[in-house]
Every structure is written in C-alpha cells, then in structure tokens.
Amino acid sequence: MQDPGSPLAATLYLAANAFWIAGILIALPPRTGAGHKFFASLLATGSLFLIASLVLAWPTGFVWTAPQPIFLGMAPVELKLDALTTPFLLILALLSFAVAIFSPGYLDHLKDRVDTRLYWCCTTLFVFSMAQVITSANGLTFLVFWEMMSLSSVALVMAEPIRHRAQRAALIYLGATRFATALIAGSFIWLSSASSAAHSWRFSDWDMSVHSYVPALLLFLGLCIKAGIWPFHIWLPYAHPEAPAPVSALMSGVMVKVAIYAMLRFFFFLPVYSSVIAYTAIALGVISSVWGILFALMEHDLKRLLAYSTVENVGLIVSAIGLAMLGRISGQIYLTELALAAALLHCVNHGCFKGLLFLGAGSVDSGAHTRDLGYLGGLAKNMPWTMALFFIGCASIAALPPFNGFASKWLLYQSYLNLAFSSDHILQRSLGLIVIGIFSLVGALSLACFTKAFGIAFLGRPRSDQALKAKECSEGMKQAQLLLALCCLALSFSASATVLLFQPVLKLLLKPIYTAGPIFSIPMTTLFVIGCATTLLIYILFNSTRAHVREYNTWDCGYGPLPARAEETGTSFSHPIGIIFGTLLQYRTITQIGGRDRRHFPEHIAVEVYMFPALEAILYKPGIAAIQSLSGALVKMQTANIHIHLLYVFVAMIVLVCVGIYL
Amino acid sequence: MSAATNYVAFILTALTALLLPPLLLATIRKTKARMQNRLGTRLFQPYYDLLKFLAKAETVSSTTSWVFRSTAVANLVTVILIAFLTPWLSYGPHFRDASDLFLIVYLFGLARFMTVLAALDAGSVFGGFGASREVTLALLIEPGVVLALASLACVAHTSSLGSIMSYSLVDNPVLYTQPIMWLLAGSGLFLASVAELSRMPVDDPTTHLELTMVHEAMILENSGRNLALTEYTHVLKMAVLLGLSGQCFLHSVADLWSANDLVRGAASIAIIFALTLVIALMESLIVKLQWRKVPEFISYAVGMSLLCFLIAVGVR
C-alpha cells in the first residue's frame, strides 16, 4: 500500500468496502438466512466508515493500489481519493446510509413482489461500485466499476420483473447505458494509446489538450447519456421511477452525479481548451433544464415527476460546468470559480433533496399503495411526518430561501450575471442575460411543479379510497427522511461555510490560476432569525386576544359538500401551462360531451389529455428501426446449417490471413 | 451611510410600510368611484376594513392542515422582509448584500408557494382554479421581471438592488447616462406588477365571479384575522412593487440624482400614488381580458424587458 495522505483514512475506506463486499457475498447464496436488518446494518456501517475516511483524508486524500493478484490485464486496480472526489463520496455515503435505514420498512410493504436477496445484493453492489467509480485512478478501473454500477442498477430497475413497465424500462435503460459505456470506452482507448507514457491507462498520464476533439466529444456524449442530458434523457424518466424508491433515490441522487463528477474530472483536471464543448454543455444544459421541468410539470406519476425534475437539475449543473469551461478558456477566473462552486453545491444540494423526495414518494407509495396524483390527496391527515418532510424537500428543490436549493441557484445566477458584465464579446454578454431569463422561467416552472406535487398529493381531500385509508410509514422510513431533511436544513444555514469548504476542490481543479474563490454573501441565517422573530411578534400581537375560531366545511356555495371529484386534479392544475407550451409538449386535449341535449343536460362528459412523444418519434424511432432491419438482414446469414457455418469460418480465416500478410 | 441615518431610514420605512399601503387601495377605489360618478367610500375605509376583520370570528375549513393556518403569517413576514430589503423608497435602509435581486425575486416566490398551497389546502374548487392560474401567471411574469432587473444589474456590475437604485454616481456612472433603460425597466416592472397584483386587465379584484378570478379565488377560505393579515400583505406587496417600478422611473430623471433626500423621498411617495392612479384609470377604462388573452398582455412587459436587455448588452 502506497499512500501520500493519511494511512488511517485509506484503511477506513477499505474497511467500508469490506463491509459492502461482505453484504454482496452473503446475499448471493440462494437460501441465505440473514434478514433485512443484517444487510441494512452492513450497508449503513460501510457508509459510516466511508464518512469517517472522508473526514480524515480531507483535503489531501490518498492513493491505493490493489496488491498483485488483483489485476485488470493492462492496469492495476488503482484508487485515488482527493478533494474533488470528496463531495461526491459524501453524497453517496449520506444517501446510502439513509437508504439502509429506509429499505427494511419499504421492503415489508413490497412483500413477495421483490426478491429481497436480489435487492440487497444489487443495492450493495450498486453503492460499492459507485464509490469505486468515483475513486478510480485509471481508465480500466473506471470502466470495470462503471459497468458494475450500470448493470446492478439495471437489475434493480427489474426488481419487480412481473410488471410490463419495469421490463420495458429496464430494456430502454440497458440500451442507453450500453451506448454510454461504448462511447466512454472508445474515448478511453483513444486517450490511452495516445498518452504521454505509451498505452498508459492512468488518468494523470492522459493529455486531452493535444488531440483532436474526437475523444473529448465521445467522452462528453457518453457522460451526457449517463447524466440524462437532453436529448439523451429519455431513459431516465422510464428507469428511475420503476426501481424501488430507495434505489430511485440512489440513482437520481448519486448515479447521475457520477457522470457529472467524471465531467469535472476529465474536462478540468486534464486541460481541454475547447469552446465547442463548453458551448455545447451550456446549450444542452439549458435545454435540459427547460425540457425536464416542463415534462415534470405535466406528469401525474409522483416518481416520474421527480425523475423529470432530475433532468432539469442535471441540466442546471451541466450548464454551470459549461460556463466554467468557457470562463477558463477566456481566462475569466472569478467566473470559472463561481460557476464551479455553483455546480458542486448544486450537486450536493440536489443529492440531499432529491433523495429526500424520492424516499417521500416511496413512503407515499407504501402508505397509499399508489403514486398517481389522480388518486392521492389529503394525505396530510394520515401521514403528517411524510408530509412535513416532503414539504421541506419541495421548498428546497423550488429554491425558496432560506432552503438549500436557493444557495446553489443564487451562485448559478451570479455566475451568468458575471459573464454578462465581465465578458468582452457582445454575444457572450447576451448569452449571460438570456440564460438568466430562461433560468427564471425554469424557477417559476419548478415552483409550479412542486406546488403541484405537494399540494395535490398531500393537501385537499382524498381523491380515492386508498388515499383516505393511507397509513403513516414505519419508524425507519421516517428516520431516513428526517435525516435527509435535516441535511437539507443544515446545508441551508451553512451555505456560505460550505462554499468556503469547496476551496480545496477549486484549487485542485484550477491549479495554476486559482485566486480567492467565490463566497455566498447573502446573510441567510440573520434573515431567517429576523423572520422568526417577526413571526413571533405577529403571533403575540394577534393571538393575545383569542377570537373565536370555528371549524366548518369548505365553502360550497350553499349546495352542500362537494365530492372530492370536484377538486382540482394534477392534470387540471397544469392544464393552462400545457396549453401555453402546447407545441413543445405536443399537448392535446380531447373533450367529448354526449347526450340528447348535450348543450344543457350532457349525459356523459369525457376529457382526455394526451402528449405525443415527439422526441422519441423523430429522433429515436428511425434509428431503432434501422438497427432492427439490419439485424433482420443478418438473421438470414444464420442458416442453422453446419456446412454453411463451416464455410463462414473458412472465409473468415482466409480474410484474416490476407489482412495479416497485408499489414 | 452611517448607523444613525440607517436607523432613521429604518423607522421611516416601517412607518411608510404600515400606513401607506391601505391608502393606495383607497385611492384606487375612490378614483374608480369618481370615474363611475359615485361618491365612493371614505378615504380611510380600507383601514376600518382591516380593523373589522381583525375583530371578527374566524371560520376555518376542517379539511385544512397547518399549511393553511400558517400561510397568512408566513406571507406577511416574507413581504415585510422584502419591504425592508428592497429599495422601493429612496429613503429606505441600505443593505448591500441582502438586497440582492435574486433573493428578492425568490422571496416573492416563497410567498407565492405558500399562497398556492394554502389555496389547495381547503380542497375547494375555487382554490384549485386560482392556484393553477396563479402559477401560470407567475411563470409568464417572472422572466420579464428578472430580465429587466438583471439588465440593470449587468450595467451596474452588481446584483444588489440597493446599490443599483442608490442615485449614486460613484456606484453607477453608466446607469446615469441611460434614462431610456430606466424607463423601459420601469414600464416592464409596472406591467408585470399589474398582473402580479391581480389587478385589471388580468384579474378583477372586485368581483366574486369564480370563473374570472385568480387572487380572490385563492383566498376564498380566509376569514377574520387570517383575512386581515392576507389583505394587508397584499396591499403591502402592491406598495413595494409599485415603489420598485416607481424608483426605476425616478432614476430616469437626471435632476433627481443630484437632488437632496427630502425631494427624492417626496418624489418616491408621489410616483407610487401616480402609478396607483394609472392602475385606477386602467381599471375604469379597460375591460378585463379573457384568460387566454392574458399572455398577450404580459408579453408587453416581457417586450419592455427585452428592449432593456438589448440596451444593457450594448452599453455594458
């Protein structure tokens, strides 16, 4: 073992991995006697060890190379922990700890529908491989664990294999993740064969500035697919909701961040001076944020809504990274630092509140047995804890001050404003202001989206029998959500300290040009304290004389209580916005009114809302059709006749010999 | 600005925020009444109304949760914070970091979030309608507001509204030379405020015809003290928003940059009343727009902001 940093930190990190590997191995045998508590505690202990290791290793980190028998053919298993990996590992540790507490209660609700052994094996493997992807120090280690991460999550999407939707989601996800891996592997092979030390797989030997755009572009595309950036995001809203809720939390909270991490790692640590990638990142990021939040708003499945909102948030992060690249190319150091701080803080924030919201959705699912907003409503009465914690998540993700989402959104706005006034090009200045305008639209849309998610699911009257009889989640599930909600609150009030904590990361990424680092200058805690004091004052002023408060029915125009069917539904809530963005969303409403006197006494009314998936139809259908017809043609070669196949072998051999002679 | 002047500014702002807003409502009502050849109510009627609501018993729907019950107070506190942070009066206290434009826009967002949730909380049909329309309006308005303010911020090289609107040649030598930009930003903000404040032609605050209303539909369940706080919050918001666009208009007058504080303060109050009168005239002369036509109205506000943006990119 070789480590310039803390040896204790490395040991703790390996111990964390040992706990996870134990979890995977014990879950493997078919008839294992161990229960949920056992696997959960292994996962949770591993996460705690990881946190301890991160604290000890901050900010120098350590390097660890696996001893000899473990070897990947061309490169050893090499792990390296430094300042950049720390924020990402921290979200991973936090979320996997929360997931470990949450899962036992959640699995009880799923009962026989999910193979618990498979669940624990794959979840632990998923967490384990994500940690190794983040720490990997060479290309082969990265690819091996990247594959483990992708495949274990595919298996988890299929955790309920009976459902047709799960099968379809897993297939789409598998396709997307195959493509991502192929692109990344291609880029890695290119980079390693052209590295300074010939055929070195180590990241530190690679130099991306020397070569053409090709490997950088391949890598960028591959990472965009994994991060769920428009137009490669289509797998995300299928895959994330189909997995069990804790896994969705891990996928949305951490896995997409792994792709973000890789972007930071490769496009900053290795000097890439390409404005093409920078502008592409900004453009795709901005489009993803608008697209993601619009589709989230139209969604009526709580988990799909959250998945689309992940597309939005990842878009914000990627646009910040693009801006940082642009700032670095044009030498605007403060701008670069602001944008990077925004990206990092938003990664951490999004990990916390998206994890919280997905766990909340899982809690709703287990309590009310549905996550369709059309059947929910009025859960505030039966699920007070879930409701309060979900409220914190919604306020955070809608970036409302003082909650934590605001700090990173503020840094993002500041960085674009900085571009608008510090750049020399008129086009860059306009870009800065235009993006600010678009982000304010995104902000308003996300407010609409999360008032819908929270208001329709938890407030008002129950829209179905299931919602009426909903039960509060179990203790463990409650504690997991409470943990993440507390993290959100802690991040809200320590935003300026957190931004200062990122300084070593920024120093690492911008080694030669780093200056002072940005600060989050809004005195949020002071404002919050003043707000609380004012609240107290108003409360004392107006509640000193107790006026009579009467509880009564909701106003019904004197007709008597209206049925819950008369309430606003999720679909009708977002209907005006659907009409405004009708062309983009391909939003259609079909209204049928029937009966003899349909004008005055309609006998039946049916309204159907339909969204044509234009992106899939235009962009993906032709490609998939081409692959299918190609494979159809190839099928003809398979004659199932041994002589013909022997002929193929013979021809192939001759061709190979000829090629060999020629070369 | 020294600590002593800041205290005086603080007290003056507090007094203005407490006394001015209901008077604005009274001005609108009185003007409308006179335009319709009615005598109208007493000038101080809105104050009496608030006192009356405070004394009344309150009816709360049994469907509601803590969200509904805490919204009125939470919104009042948020808008009070905004009133002290935003430079809507030339003599307001000066907080450099906390008067950030993005903070203020998102604080308005916080108030909207709570209002919309409170509207959904009772499970009434009207509340849902109002909530849905409110978020739609918000997403149309917000880009215009942010773009106008961000253009000013871009020229001033800071996002602190306190610094942008400080009549200080040291802080903003460039903005001094751009009266057109201030006028455009002011009109953009004013048009957006008309929509945001649920006035005609976007919303009709005086009817109770459910199909047409936005804000009134959302607060249909409020009564007693709750209603008093909500109404006061709404008029305070009106004063702040009109004051903000008023400040933009005032900054376009070069003489005011060198005038003394007293003149500027008087001008700040005067412009708020002037804009209130414009609203009253609009409400008397223009009919309410059909809900589907509202985006067209708001596009004027966004158009003003876009022109403002073009100037900002040009002058830097």
Q: What is the pLDDT of residue A636?
A: 83
The stretch A65-74 carries a mean pLDDT of 81
pLDDT tens digits for B9-42?
888 889 998 899 999 999 999 999 999 999 888 8
The stretch A179-184 carries a mean pLDDT of 94
Judged against a pLDDT cut of 70, whether residue A271 lies above it is answered with no
Q: What is the pLDDT of residue A288?
A: 95
Quick one: closest CA in A to B291, which residue? A576
Kindly report the three-state secondary structure assignment for every residue of A538-553.
HHHHHHCCCCCEEEEC
- With vertex at residue A108, the alpha carbon angle to CA A102 and CA A112, rounded to the nearest 5 degrees, is 135
| Beta-carbon separation of B154 and A551 below 8 A | no
B31 Cα to chain A: minimum distance (Å): 32
Are the beta carbons of A85 and A209 closer than 8 angstroms? no
Query: For residues A181 and A479, what is the distance between their CA atoms, to the nearest angstrom?
Result: 36
Work out whether strand A549-552 and strand B58-61 pair parallel, antiparallel, or are unpaired: parallel
User: Which chain B residues in 117-136 lie under 8 Å from chain A, judged by CB atoms?
Assistant: 117, 120-129, 131-133, 135-136
pLDDT tens digits for A109-128?
887 788 888 899 999 999 99
How large a percentage of chain A has pLDDT more than 90?
48
Long-range contacts of A513-518 (CB under 8 A, 24+ apart): A513/A328, A513/A331, A513/A333, A513/A336, A514/A333, A514/A337, A515/A333, A515/A334, A515/A337, A516/A334, A516/A337, A517/A337, A517/A341, A518/A334, A518/A337, A518/A338, A518/A341, A518/A411, A518/A414
Nearest CB neighbour to B147, from listed A380, A429, A433: A433
pLDDT tens digits for B131-169?
999 999 999 999 999 999 999 999 998 888 988 888 888
Does B5 reach chain A within 8 Å, measured CB to CB?
A: no
Per mean pLDDT, which of A635-649, B134-148, B284-298 is the most reliable? B134-148
Q: What is the pLDDT of residue A198?
A: 67
pLDDT tens digits for A279-302?
999 999 999 999 999 999 999 999
Amino acid at B214: V
Give which of B181, B158, B172, B180 is closest to A420, Cα–Cα.
Answer: B158
DSSP-assigned beta bridge partners for residue A378? none
Query: For residues A152 and A133, what is the distance between their CA atoms, to the nearest angstrom?
Result: 13
Report how far apart the first and last C-alpha atoms of chain A are (Å, whole number): 43
Would you tell me how many other CB atoms lie within 10 Å of the CB of residue A207? 14
Which of B18, B75, B113, B140 to mutate to probe the A interface, most A CBs <10 Å? B113
How large a percentage of chain A has pLDDT more than 70?
96
Mean pLDDT of chain A: 88
Query: For residues B63 and A511, what is the distance between their CA atoms, to the nearest angstrom?
Result: 58
Give which of B174, B176, B150, B170 is closest to B250, Cα–Cα.
Answer: B176
Q: What is the pLDDT of residue A273?
A: 62
Nearest CB neighbour to A436, from listed B107, B127, B150: B150
A460 vs B contacts (CB less than 8 Å): 63, 120-123, 128
pLDDT tens digits for B112-127?
999 999 999 988 888 8
Q: What is the pLDDT of residue A3?
A: 44
Q: What is the pLDDT of residue A546?
A: 64
Would you tell me how many other CB atoms lie within 10 Å of the CB of residue A556? 12
Helices A85-110 and A475-493: angle between axes, nearest 10 degrees? 150
Contacts of residue A553, defined as CB under 8 A and 6 or more positions apart, other chains included, come to A561, B61, B62, B63
Judged against a pLDDT cut of 80, whether residue B4 lies above it is answered with no
Cα dihedral A358, A364, A367, A368 sign: negative
Q: What is the pLDDT of residue A1?
A: 39
Q: What is the pLDDT of residue A547?
A: 66
| Beta-carbon separation of B142 and A522 below 8 A | no
pLDDT tens digits for A617-626?
888 889 889 9
Task: Please state the ipTM of this predicted complex.
Answer: 0.94
Q: Categorise residue B58: left if φ over 0, alpha if ψ from -120 to 50, beta otherwise.
A: beta
* DSSP element (H, E) containing A340: helix A333-368
Kindly report the three-state secondary structure assignment for every residue of A563-631.
CHHHCCCHHHHCHHHHHHCHHHHCEEEEEEEECCCCCCCCCEEEEEEEECCHHHHHHHHHHHHHHHHHH
Residue written as tokens 């509140």? A353
Amino acid at B93: P
Q: How confident is the model at residue A2 (pLDDT cuts 50, 70, 90)?
A: very low
* DSSP element (H, E) containing A220: helix A213-227
Q: What is the pLDDT of residue A662?
A: 83
Are the beta carbons of A566 and B125 closer than 8 angstroms? yes
Judged against a pLDDT cut of 80, whether residue A256 lies above it is answered with yes
Q: What is the pLDDT of residue A36?
A: 85
The stretch A610-618 carries a mean pLDDT of 85
* DSSP element (H, E) containing A144: helix A139-157
Give which of A591, A583, A587 is closest to A608, Cα–Cα.
Answer: A591
A610 Cα to chain B: minimum distance (Å): 19
| Beta-carbon separation of A444 and B138 below 8 A | yes
The distance between the two most distant Cα atoms of chain B, rounded to a whole number of Å, is: 58
Residue written as tokens 């002593």? B4
Which of A416, A426, A459 to mutate to probe the B interface, most B CBs <10 Å? A459
Does A461 reach chain B within 8 Å, measured CB to CB?
A: yes
Q: Where are the beta strands (DSSP E) in chain B?
A: 58-61
Judged against a pLDDT cut of 90, whether residue A72 lies above it is answered with no
pLDDT tens digits for B96-116?
778 899 999 999 999 999 999
Does B97 reach chain A within 8 Å, measured CB to CB?
A: yes
In this prediction the pTM is: 0.93
Q: Categorise residue A289: left if φ over 0, alpha if ψ from -120 to 50, beta otherwise.
A: alpha
Q: What is the pLDDT of residue A100?
A: 94
User: Which chain A residues in 631-660 lie under 8 Å from chain B, judged by CB atoms?
Assistant: none
Q: How confident is the model at residue A209 (pLDDT cuts 50, 70, 90)?
A: low
Query: For residues A309 and A397, what is the distance between their CA atoms, to the nearest angstrom?
Result: 9
Can you say how many angstroms the Cα of residue A53 is from the centroid of all Cα atoms in its chain? Answer: 24
Q: What is the pLDDT of residue A544?
A: 63
Can you say how many angstroms the Cα of residue B182 is from the centroid of all Cα atoms in its chain? Answer: 18
pLDDT tens digits for B185-208?
999 999 999 988 888 787 777 766
DSSP-assigned beta bridge partners for residue A587? A611
The SS3 assignment for A460 reads: coil
Q: What is the pLDDT of residue B208?
A: 62
Query: For residues B163 and B87, what is the distance between their CA atoms, to the nearest angstrom?
Result: 9
How large a percentage of chain B has pLDDT more than 70?
97
Report how far apart the first and last C-alpha atoms of chain B are (Å, whole number): 27
A450 vs B contacts (CB less than 8 Å): 113
The residue that leads in pLDDT, A404 or B169, is A404
DSSP-assigned beta bridge partners for residue A606? A592
The SS3 assignment for A197 reads: coil
The SS3 assignment for B13 reads: helix
What the block records as the tokens of B312 is: 């900002």
Q: What is the pLDDT of residue B224?
A: 86
Residue written as tokens 């294992």? A32
Helices B224-251 and B3-35: angle between axes, nearest 10 degrees? 100
User: Which chain A residues in 366-385 lie under 8 Å from chain B, judged by CB atoms?
Assistant: 377-378, 380-381
Are the beta carbons of A446 and A397 closer than 8 angstroms? yes
Residue ranges of domains in chain B:
3-315
